[in-house]
Structure 1
Amino acid sequence: MDEDYDVIVLGTGLKECILSGLLSVDGLKVLHMDRNDYYGGESTSLNLIQLWKRFRGDETPPAHLGSSRDYNVDMIPKFIMANGTLVRVLIHTDVTKYLSFKAVDGSFVYNKGKIYKVPATDMEALKSPLMGIFEKRRARKFFIYVQDYNEHDPKTHEGMDLTRVSTRDLIAKYGLDDNTVDSIGHALALHRDDRYLNEPALDTVKRMKLYVESIARFQGGSPYIYPLYGLGELPQAFARLSAVYGGTYMLNKPECKVEFDEEGKVVGVTSEGETARCRKVVCDPSYLPNKVRKVSRVARAIAIMSHPIPNTNDSHSVQVILPQKQLGRRSDMYLFCCSYSHNVAPKGKFIAFVSAEAETDHPESELKPGIDLLGQVDDIFFDIYDRYEPVNEPSLDNCFISTSYDPTTHFESTAVDVLNMYTMITGKKKENITPIGLKIVLTNPALCQSLKIHFLCKQQAMKCRNQWFLTRELRSSSTKIDSSTLCDFNFFIIS
């Protein structure tokens, strides 16, 4: 361990593992340590015995719940936007070869005491009881504006500067009622509270476009995907990436102490009497508690059930958003459910989570509106944890600390934090993420159909650096291919 490293990463949470992988790919010498004997940190997935030990101490799980090893219960339950930033990172780093994903069945919203499906197709939108016929006409005009909007084409702006016009003023132009605004802002744009209404509308429009693009990506019932065997697979996959590019991993390293020089700059990390020297440290808040501050708390319930969440069309994987206004809260509440269809529970079992930013010290009563929607549960656990953000100046001490995970059920804020940290650490930006060694990426199968070109099987394609490339026929096509979109099946075009 007595060596020099460019970066030492402390903690194997998802953020830390992504950064470890990215930095290793960049050619930096990385040492990655964790005080625990498992990967994932706070974002790990637990089997049934581990879950009981964490919340019930020495109690034993009841036999009727099935085999412990069939459970993979996420401690930070989140879905992945199918065309979001995390997917771009996954493909950029080629980590997808270590993972298998499956689409999430549905996304729902709570409105006036009932659960409604968030429409994923034109037909669902036409039949949706969320809006009356006249409201649907007004909403359609707004959706067309959002769909056609191009930040770099003033012709699509209709005279509005969305960096100055508030979301409230933009929506007011279309005369939408409060319930429609609530659904758009929280179920489509995925805002956590109503502050967005007084903020520039550009962010909301971008969020809505991401939602629609993510649905179109797999043409499923929601904009989300989720890895088989749970989110604990993600940190391990990025750890493998780091190792492939020369990163060194050490688990079960107690008392990792960050060492500083007289000027307050990091010089290394000491554990078990040995010191590894480094120029920079990346870590989660628990490793440098004197350089972070508590910003909020998250209340969470974890339920094991023998049925899907009622009124969600028997969906085996689902998100339900409860907007703040519907509950009289200051921020939204979230329901997240997965099952044996994603290999996180035995056949016939479902894992549901209710989470929200804590506004009281009593998670049981605070989360009751969400828990009431679950129906009968086999067992349930309650938890409340603190969220931290860094207060140090990385340019002065070379310590780069991640922000704790928020209660939302998707990873966009997580990915943004990772990329911001990457920029601070390296001075480089990863705004236009493309796969390693490539410049142009093929979009979804709909594009291939429009080009009258079918995907080739791997035996007919050309292999290079563990990627499969399409033949010259497609590469020579004059059709413009949008380089900002992603590949669905790891087939790429050489630019």
Structure 2
Amino acid sequence: MDEEYDVIVLGTGLKECILSGLLSVDGLKVLHMDRNDYYGGASTSLNLIQLWKRFRGNDKPPEQLGLSKEYNVDMIPKFMMANGGLVRVLIHTDVTKYLHFKAVDGSFVYNKGKVYKVPATDVEALKSPLMGLFEKRRARKFFIYVQDYDESDPKSHEGLDLSKVTARELITKYGLEDDTIDFIGHALALHFDDSYLNGPASDFVKRMKLYAESLARFQGGSPYIYPLYGLGELPQAFARLSAVYGGTYMLNKPECKVEFAGDGKAYGVTSEGETAKCKKVVCDPSYLPDKVKKVGKVARAVCIMSHPIPDTNDSHSAQVILPQKQLGRKSDMYLFCCSYAHNVAPKGKFIAFVSTEAETDNPEVELKPGIDLLGPVDEIFYETYDRYVPINNHETDNCFISTSYDGSTHFESTVTDVLAMYSKITGKAVDLSVDLSAASAASEE
């Protein structure tokens, strides 16, 4: 370990593995270490025995749940937008060759105690039971505006400068009702709370367009895709990419202590008495706890079921978003479901997650509105984890720390963090203007 590296990456979570892959492709000399003996860090996938060990200690899983090895239970469950940032990164790096994807069956929203399919186009708006007749017409006009909006074509702007107009002002122009605004803002534009209403309408419209474009990509029931065998495949695929380009991986390295010089700059990492030198350190918050601050926590439930989520058209994989207002909360709640259709459970079994930004110290009570929508569950596990953001100055200490994963069930915020970190590390942006038809080819329909 006496060699010198351009970058040492600590932790094999998804964000760290993507960065390790991108930096290796750029020709940087990368050493990637993890104190665990498995890939994935916080975003790993567990088999049934590992799941029981994590939540139930020495108890053994009941036999009727099937074989342990047939389970791949994500610890940070998220779907990918078919046209979104993560898919573009996968294609840009050619990691798609290590993975197979399948479209997610359904995208739903909770409204007044019921679950509805999310209407994403003017045609779907007219059919949706979410709205009355007059509201459907108003919503249809709004969807047409969004579909036709083209940043470079002023004719499509209808006299509005979306960089100056707020999302609230744009919505007001179309006279939409509160419930309609709820599902558009949270289930289509995928905002976590209502603060987006005071932000520029341009971001809001971009997010809606991304949803519609992703939906059109596979003509499926949702805009999302998900890898066969679970998300644990992703860190490993990026690790393979890094190795192909000369990156070095070391798992099961205890301690992993970042070494700092007198001027406060990181110069290497020590493990088992040996120090590897480097110019920059990239890590998750757990490796440099004194350079991050806690900003919240996520509450979640992991459920094993023998049926799909009710009222989701028997979808084998689905997302249901419960907007904050519908629950009288400050942030949204998310249901995520996948099953044997994506090779993450034995035949007939479904894995469902309920997650949200925690507002109390009691996940059982807090997550109840989501859990009530699942119907009978075979097993349920509760957990909370803290969310951290870096507070260091990377220019003075050479350390680049990722933020913790949020409670949402899609990857858009994850990719934003990775791309921002990449720009800080390298001083340049990743070119994501890729041919997305390659994604369609990589997807197993």
**Structure 2 residue 403 is the aligned partner of structure 1 residue 403:** yes
CA distance in 2 between counterparts of 1:119 and 1:229 reads: 29
Deviation digits for residues 307-331 of structure 1 (CA, Å, limit 9, x no counterpart)? 0001111000000000000000000
Instruction: Assess, with a 3 A threshold, how the Cα gap between structure 1 residues 183 and 490 changes in structure 2: closer, same or farther.
Output: closer
The 5 Å alignment of 1:224-303 reads 224-303=224-303
User: What count of residue pairs does the alignment treat as equivalent?
Assistant: 443
Contact map agreement 1:89 1:433 (CA 8 A) in 2:
no
Q: Which amino acid aligns with 1:325?
A: K
- Output the CA distance in 2 between the equivalents of 1:90 and 1:323: 30
Alignment of 1:309-388 (within 5 A): 309-388=309-388
The Cα shift of 1:431 comes to: 4.6
Partner of 1:437: none
Cα pair 1:149 1:157 within 8 Å, conserved: yes
In the alignment, which residue of structure 2 is the partner of 1:200? Answer: 200
Aligned partner letter, 1:52: W
Q: Distance in 2 between matches of 1:90 and 1:432?
A: 10
Q: By how many angstroms is 1:433 displaced?
A: 4.0
| Residue equivalent to 1:460 | none
* Structure 1 pair 203–121 and aligned structure 2 pair: CA distance change class (3 A): closer
| Higher relative contact order (Cα pairs below 8 Å, separated by 6+ residues) | 2
Task: Measure how far apart 1:149 and its partner are.
Answer: 1.1
Hey, what's the Cα distance between the residues in 2 that align with 1:221 and 1:65?
29
Structure 1, unaligned stretches of length 5 or more?
435-440, 445-485
Is 1:488 matched up with 2:440?
Answer: yes
Q: Which moved more, 1:115-124 or 1:379-388?
A: 115-124
Matches within 5 A, 1:10-29: 10-29=10-29
Cα deviation, residue 111, structure 1: 0.1
Aligned match of 1:49:
49
Measure the CA separation in 2 of the matches of 1:317 and 1:274. 46
C-alpha distance in 2, partners of 1:158/1:122?
A: 18
1: distance between equivalents of 2:277 and 2:88? 32
1:127-166 per-position Cα deviation (integer Å, ceiling 9, x unaligned): 2101112111111111111111122222221111111111
Distance 1:412 1:273 in 2: 39
SS in 2 for 1:295: strand
Structure 2 counterpart of 1:415, one-letter code:
V
Provide structure 2 residue ranges, at least 5 long, that are not aligned to the other structure.
none
What is the rounded CA distance, in whole Å, between the counterparts of 2:152 and 2:292 in structure 1? 38
3-state secondary structure, aligned to 2:35:
coil
CA RMSD of aligned residues (A): 1.2
Query: Which residue pairs with 1:389 in the alignment?
Result: 389
The correspondence of residues 20-39 of structure 1 with structure 2, limited to 5 A, is 20-39=20-39
Encode CA deviations 1:373-431: one digit per residue, 9 max, x unaligned: 00000000000000000000001111000000001110010011000000000001115
CA distance in 2 between partners of 1:32 and 1:22 (Å): 13
Summarize deviations over 1:461-484 as a string: whole Å, max 9, x none.
xxxxxxxxxxxxxxxxxxxxxxxx
**Tell me, what secondary structure is at the counterpart of 1:190?**
coil
> Matched residue of 2:440: which SS?
coil
Give the CA deviation at 1:487. 4.8
- Three-state SS of the structure 2 residue aligned to 1:298 is strand
Residue identity (%): 80
Maintained 8 Å contact 1:120/1:220: no
Q: CA deviation at 1:121?
A: 6.3
Larger Rg, first or second structure (1 or 2): 1
Is the Cα contact below 8 Å between 1:317 and 1:338 reproduced in 2? yes
2:75 matched residue in structure 1: 75
